[in-house]
Amino acid sequence: MKPSLLLHACCGVCSAYVPEKLIPDFDVTVYYENSNIFPEEEFYKRQEAAKTMANKFGLPFVEPTYSPTGWFKSIAGFEQEREGGPRCEHCINFRLSETVKFAKQNNFEWVATTLSVSRTKNVDQINRIGHALAEMHGLKFLGEDWKKGNGEVISQRRAKETGIYRQNYCGCVYSLNDKVKQNSKSKIQNG
Ligand code: SF4
């Protein structure tokens, strides 16, 4: 029997590749904890995309309740930090903490996350947080760098071929605002 693993998945794109790397060795369940996402409709769009990919891999998919209040509390004081800084540390910690708690309550042995498939994410930060939280609850964290071996390119290509929703900003309201600013700046520059 394969060991059980709860895979935190942040969106459909990131769920398009990582499961196939895990399925040969683990009994995988996908867990969509992303209360960071703004606005709420965006949360459900990404959830639907992640669920489509889980179904394609034949994996169970767990949909926790959208709870932005808890997420906003977790990043309080760090709202205006740049992407990749302390706000993201708290954001990742919040989502992985919720994932690890669910894994503990439901007798999973391992926890992992798809987050490191993106080149914009700091793999050391993600894996450090994941290992610490899992250890705290007596679980094991699989700290891989999923973008190795072209993971991000394969994920994007597969997501496009499948026709699932593909987002163009990280997820929170602050990353959305940054994206809007960037877009209007390039519009002005391009005349
Ligand atoms: S930019 Fe992304 S990782 Fe950072 S706080 Fe926002 S949603 Fe979380």
- Note the pLDDT tens digit of each residue in 30-67: 999 999 999 999 999 999 999 999 999 999 999 999 99
Instruction: Determine if ligand 1 sits within 6 Å of the CB of residue 36.
Output: yes
Instruction: Determine if ligand 1 sits within 6 Å of the CB of residue 167.
Output: no
Give tens-digit pLDDT for 115-143: 999 988 999 999 999 999 999 999 999 99
**Number of domains within the chain:** 1
Which domain covers residue 126, as residue numbers?
4-189
Instruction: Determine if ligand 1 sits within 6 Å of the CB of residue 171.
Output: yes
Render the burial of 48-72: b for 16+ CB within 10 Å, e for the rest: ebbbbbbeebebebbeeebebeebb
Query: What CATH number is given to the structural domain containing 147?
Result: 3.40.50.620
